[in-house]
Structure 1
Amino acid sequence: MKFVGSLLLLVLLAPVVRAAPIPVVTSFSILKNLVEEVGGDAVTVKSLIPAGADPHGFHPRPSDVLEIKKARLVFLSGWGLEPWAAQLWKSSKSTATLVEVSDGLKPLAAESGLDPAHLHGHDHDHDHHQHGPNDPHYWHDPARVRQVVAKIAAKLAEVEPTRTAEFNARAEKLNARILEIETATRTALAGLRLKDRVALSPHDGFKYMGDAFGVRFVSVMGVSTNEDLSAERLAGLQKMLKAGRIQVAFFERGHHERALRTALSQSQIPTETLDGDSLGEQTKTYVELLRSNTEKLVRAFAAAASSKVTP
C-alpha cells in the first residue's frame, strides 16, 4: 500500500511535459502579435515583414522560404496585402496549414484616393474612385479583429487540441480588452456635437476605422502607400480644404508626412498622427495601437467640435 501511495505521489509531483511550441509564420507584425497573444507559450511566431516596415513595399528574402518550410501554421492577412505570397508558398513546398484570416470577414471596397474630376468642376457625391479589390486594412475595425482572434484560436487548437481551452481563454481575454476600447470610443464620439465626421488620411488605410466609428475618411491616395503624392492630388486636397468639407486630418507615421503637413499649414483643422500598417516603438501590441489610434480619433473630433472651423 505504501508503494502505491509513493508511486501516486511521484506521478503527481512529476513535471508536466508540454509539446514543443508550434512554429508559426505570419505575414506582418500586427498578425504576429495577435497570434502570440492567443498562443502564449504554445507558439513561436516569426513575422516575415518586421515591425516598423511597410507591408505595401515588402519584398520576400530567400530566408523567408525556409521560415515557411519550417512552420506548421502560416497566417496571411489576405485581400491583396501579400501579392508575393503565392509564389513564396509555391517555392517553399511547405506542408503547413495556410490560413488567410480575412476569409469570412465582410470586406470594404478599395478606392483610389481623391477624385481628379473635382479639379475640373464636376460635382460628384463621392471623392473616391472605386478600385475593385477589397481594402485589406481590416485591423482598424475592432469588431473584425475579434473575428480574426477567434479564428486564430480555432486554428491553433486544430494543431494542439490538448490546449484548446487555453487558446479559447486567451482569445476571450484579448477580445474583451478590444471590446472595452471599442465601447469607450463609441461612447466618447457619441457625446460630441457633430453633424458629420469627415477626416483626411494620407492613404486609404483607415476606412475600416471609419466603418466602425461612423467616420468618413477621405484619403489623398489609394490603398497602397507606394503611390505618388502628385501635384494633382494635392490640388484636390486644397480644394476640399477651402470648401470646408474636412473637419480633422490624420498624418501617418512615415508616409508623406512632411508634404501633407506643408499642405495643411494654412488650415486650422485639428491634426493627429496615427499608426497604420505596422506595430513599432510607440505601439508594440495591437491593443496599444488600437487604444492610441482611437484616443487620437476622439481627441481630434473633440477639438473640431469645440472650434468654429467645423462645418
Structure 2
Amino acid sequence: MRGITQSKARYSWQALVVVLLGLWIGGCTKVDSNSTSRARDGKPRVVATSTILANLTEEVGGDEIQVTGILKPGTDPHVYEPVPADSRVLEEANLILYNGYNLEPGIIKLMKASGGKARQLAVGEVVKPLQLDKGKGEVVPDPHVWGSAENAIAMVNAIRDALIELSPEDKEEFTQKALQLTKELKQLHSWTIQQIQTIPADKRKLVTTHDAFQYYGRAYGIAIAGTLIGISTEEQPSAQTVQRLVESIKKIGVPAIFAETTINPALIKTVAQEAGVTLAPRQLYSDSIGAKGSDGDSYIKMIEANTRTIVEALGGKYTPFQPNK
C-alpha cells in the first residue's frame, strides 16, 4: 500500500513538472515570436537606408522606436554592396525607410527580394524630382532631394506619418518632435539663403565632384557650374571630360572648387591644379552626414557645414546658424 502511495505521488509530481515545463516553453515561444517583430524592449524596429534618413527618423521617433541605419557615415549609397547582415536587418524590420529615385540601387534590390513583411516607404519620392539629362536622350530623376531644407520638411512629414501608422499610441510624441524639427528646418532654409547672398554675385557658382547639389543650388541661389561626373558616382570620367571641366573652370572664373566626403578627392585635386584654382580646404557632405563628432553629424549640421564651406571658399561672409528653439 505504501508502495502504491509513493508511486502515485511520483506520478503526480512528474505530471506537474510536465505541465510547468509546457507552460515555460509556451511562454518562451511567445517571447521569441514577439522579438521577431519588435525589439527586445518592445520598440518597433525601423530600418533607414541612408545616414540622412536615419538621422531624421531618430529625431522624429525619439525613444519610442529602435532605428537601424544600413549605411554608415561617409559611405557612398550609389555603389554600396549589401552584406548578409543587411538582409537580416531588413527581414526583421517593421518599417523600412529608403530614399528612392535609385539612390541606393544595391539596397533597393536586396529590399525588394527580402522575405520581410515590413512596409517599405520611399521617403525621398514624396518630393517631385528634378529631371536630369544623362545624355543620349536618357532623362532620370535626381535622387539628392535633401539638398533643400524645404524638401527635408516634406520628408520629415512622411516619416512622421509612417511612424504614427506603425505605432499609433505614440502619435502625440511623433507629432511634437516633427513640429520642432520642422521649425528648425524652416529657420535653416532662411539662414542658408542669407548666407549664399553674401557671396559676390559673379562668384555664386559651384563646381563639385558629382552632380549632387542641384536642389541646393536652386533653393539657395547658386548655379551648378560644373561637375566631374553625373548624379551617380558609378560613372568614370574620361580624359576628355576632365579636360572640358578644366577649361570651363578657367572661363567661369570661380576662386575654388569642391571635393566631397564620400568620393576619393584625387581626381578633383588634379582638376583644381590644372585649372589653377583652389580646392576648398573643407569637403562637402553630399550623400552622407558626417561621422559622430564631426561638424556635419546630423542633417541640419550637414547643411550648415556645407553652407559654411561654400561661403568661405567663394568669398562670402559666414555667420553661424543659431536657431530659435
SS in 2 for 1:54: coil
Q: 1:130 to 1:21 in 2, by over 3 A?
A: farther
Structure 1 residues 247 and 208, CA gap change in structure 2 (3 angstroms):
farther
Measured in 2, the distance between the counterparts of 1:275 and 1:129 equals: 30
Is 1:220–2:199 an aligned residue pair? no
Pick the aligned partner of 1:300 from 303, 308, 313. 313
**Bigger shift: 188-197 or 91-100?**
188-197
Report what 1:238 is aligned to: 246
Question: What is the CA–CA distance in structure 2 between the aligned matches of 1:252 and 1:111, rounded to whole Å?
Answer: 22
Q: CA–CA distance in 2 between the matches of 1:141 and 1:130?
A: 27
- Select between 19-28 and 35-44 the one with higher mean Cα deviation: 19-28
Question: Where in structure 2 are the equivalents of 1:92-241 lying within 5 Å?
Answer: 92-112=114-134, 131-195=138-202, 197-217=204-224, 218-241=226-249
Q: CA deviation at 1:77?
A: 0.3
Q: Does residue 1:52 correspond to 2:74, yes or no?
A: yes
1:22 aligns to what?
44
1:276 to 266, 271, 286: 286
Larger deviation, residues 192-201 vs 286-295: 192-201
Shift of 1:196: 6.4
Q: Provide the C-alpha distance between the structure 2 equivalents of 1:269 and 1:206, rounded to a whole number of angstroms.
A: 19
- Measured against aligned partners, the alpha-carbon deviations of 1:246-303 in whole angstroms (never above 9, x if no partner) come to 4541111242412222321252457342111112322221111111011222223335
Contact 1:198/1:246 (8 A) holds in 2: yes
Q: Which runs of 5+ in 2 are unaligned?
A: 1-40, 318-325
Q: TM-score, normalised by structure 2?
A: 0.77
Aligned sequence identity (%): 28
Q: 1:39 aligns with which of 61, 82, 92?
A: 61
Deviation for aligned residue 1:198: 1.7
Name the aligned partner's letter for residue 79 of structure 2. Answer: G
TM-score, normalising length: structure 1? 0.80
Counterpart position of 1:10: none
Deviation at 1:85, TM superposition (A): 4.2
User: Secondary structure of 2:139's match?
Assistant: strand
2:107 and 2:66 map into 1 onto residues whose CA distance is 20
Counterparts of 1:270 and 1:131 in 2: how far apart (Å)?
Answer: 31
Cα 1:130/1:173, change in 2 over 3 Å: farther
Task: Go from structure 1 to structure 2 and tell me whether the alpha carbon gap of 1:244 and 1:85 turns closer, same or farther (over 3 Å shift).
Answer: closer
Paired amino acid for 2:266: R
CA RMSD of aligned residues (A): 2.3
Spell out, residue by residue over 1:1-44, the C-alpha distance to the aligned partner (whole angstroms, 9 max, x if none).
xxxxxxxxxxxxxxxxxx82110111111111111110001111
Instruction: Give the paired residue count.
Output: 271
* CA deviation string 1:63-118 (max 9, x = no partner): 22221121111001000112234542343221111100123312112344xxxxxx
The Cα of 1:232 is off from its aligned counterpart by 1.1
2:99 and 2:123 in contact (8 A); partners too: yes
Native 8 Å contact 2:256 2:277 kept in 1: no
What secondary structure, in the 3-state scheme, does the structure 1 residue paired with 2:176 have? Answer: helix
**SS of 2:297 mapped into structure 1:** coil
Aligned to 2:5: none
Q: Distance in 1 between matches of 2:144 and 2:85?
A: 26
Q: Which has the larger radius of gyration?
A: 2
- Alpha-carbon offset, residue 162 of structure 1: 1.7
Aligned amino acid, residue 180 of structure 1: Q
The residue number in structure 1 matching 2:29 is: none
Question: How far off its partner does 1:131 sit?
Answer: 4.3
8 Å contact from structure 2 (residues 203, 254) kept in 1 = no
> Secondary structure of 1:57's partner?
coil
Task: Please show how residues 60-79 of structure 1 align to structure 2 within 5 Å.
Answer: 60-79=82-101
Cα deviation, 1:136-188, whole Å, max 9, x if unaligned, reads: 11111111011000110111011111211111111111122222222112122
